[in-house]
Amino acid sequence: MHLPKAELHLHIEGTLEPELAFALAARNGVDLPYADTEELRTAYLFDDLQSFLDLYYALMAVLRTEEDFAELADAYLARAAAQGVRHAEIFFDPQAHTDRGVPIGTVIEGLGRALDRSEETHGISTQLIMCFLRDKSAESALETLEAAKPYLHRISAVGLDSAEVGHPPAKFREVYAAATALGLRKVAHAGEEGPPEYIREALDVLGVERIDHGLRCMEDAELVDRLVSERIPLTLCPLSNVRLRAIDVLEQHPLRSMMDAGLLCTVNSDDPAYFGGYVGDTFHAVHEALGLDQEQLRTLARNSFEAAFLDHDEERRARYLSEVEAYAFD
């Protein structure tokens, strides 16, 4: 669906398509434990977040050089452009690479190479959000922020991802305070598999401005009221929720009731190479499965630009919003 939109919840490592994974494996002499792309795709049946993360981290072994990261990002941007994305705030997981001996500079400069030419090549403005892996220690997150200091001009925000349950936001209080002092914006995954309390903690302890997922807020009416009145954006990922079994089928996704409750919902792809679709596909899927009409889809697109970190460039936000209003569905 070509409706103009911003993508605010996208893990660049989760855009690694099997074809690119095998091409990079061959180039870098990395052995993958799958015969071919078809066999690899058969592994894409997940029981929960952890079963996905195991494959997601394992496949990153093929990413080694700046050029690899540049190719990965460029391939995503080309696909996103074809689905109407005009602005992308892109997550990356530095610890998943530095732990394998790939320097953080290789990751950031490689991604940066693709992002620098994105507006010209793909018509997409971009930002980078550096995520801490919450199943690693708070010290490791602090070391990562320290290691990123030479590259802060390329990073607009910090985030928090990986295995949620048992790793509450408060574990990362210190590193989020340090990120704030460095002028970075803040988001965090919360309420994907973890309880509503993690959403509250991300707001109160970490001071995040958006909640990634936030699906489980619906179990807590008081929290919903707060999210509505404070206009906290939620970056929902409906196809991800189905594939990781947070919900059984897309028809049961609470997106419609969340919008009806007045929540500032956005729709995103999370890890599109693994979850069966990019963000335009996701818009199409919620239209089909939940019967969202064209005006509701337009609201989701409008929300995505309202929730984007474009405060330094309100002119651009206004331009994107006017593209949403002008869009004619076919």
Of positions 4, 270, 275, 327, contacts Zn ion by CB under 5 A: 270
Rounded Cα–Cα distance for residues 238 and 253 (Å): 7
Is 192 among the catalytic positions?
Answer: yes
17 is a site residue for ligand ADE (CB under 6 A) = no
First to last CA, the chain: 10
31 in a known ligand binding site:
no
Pick the binder of ligand ADE from 10, 21, 49, 157 (CB under 6 A).
49
Q: How far is CA 132 from CA 98, 137, 274, in A?
A: 12, 9, 21
Residues 255-274 that bind ligand ADE (CB under 6 A): 270-271
Which candidate in 66, 89, 192, 201 is catalytic? 192
Which 3 state secondary structure label does DSSP give 122? helix
Q: Which residues contact 6 (CB under 8 A, 6 or more apart)?
A: 85, 86, 87, 88, 89, 266, 304, 305, 307, 308, 320
Distance CA 53, CA 56 (A): 5
Long-range contacts of 102-105 (CB under 8 A, 24+ apart): 102/63, 102/64, 104/144, 104/147, 104/148, 104/151, 105/150, 105/151
Contact status: 189 vs ligand ADE (CB under 6 A)? yes
Interaction residues for ligand ADE, span 85-144 (CB under 6 A): none
- 14 contact choice in ligand ADE, Zn ion, none (CB below 5 to 8 Å, kind-dependent): ligand ADE
Segment near Zn ion (CB under 5 A), from 95-103, 177-185, 198-206, 266-274? 266-274
> Does 153 show up as a binding residue in the annotation?
no
Of 11, 64, 97, 122, the residue at the interface with ligand ADE (CB under 6 A) is 11
Sequence ranges of the binding site: 9, 11, 189, 270-271
Sequence ranges of the binding site for Zn(2+): 9, 11, 189, 270
**Contacting residues toward ligand ADE, per CB under 6 A:** 11, 14, 49, 56, 161-162, 189, 192, 240, 270-271
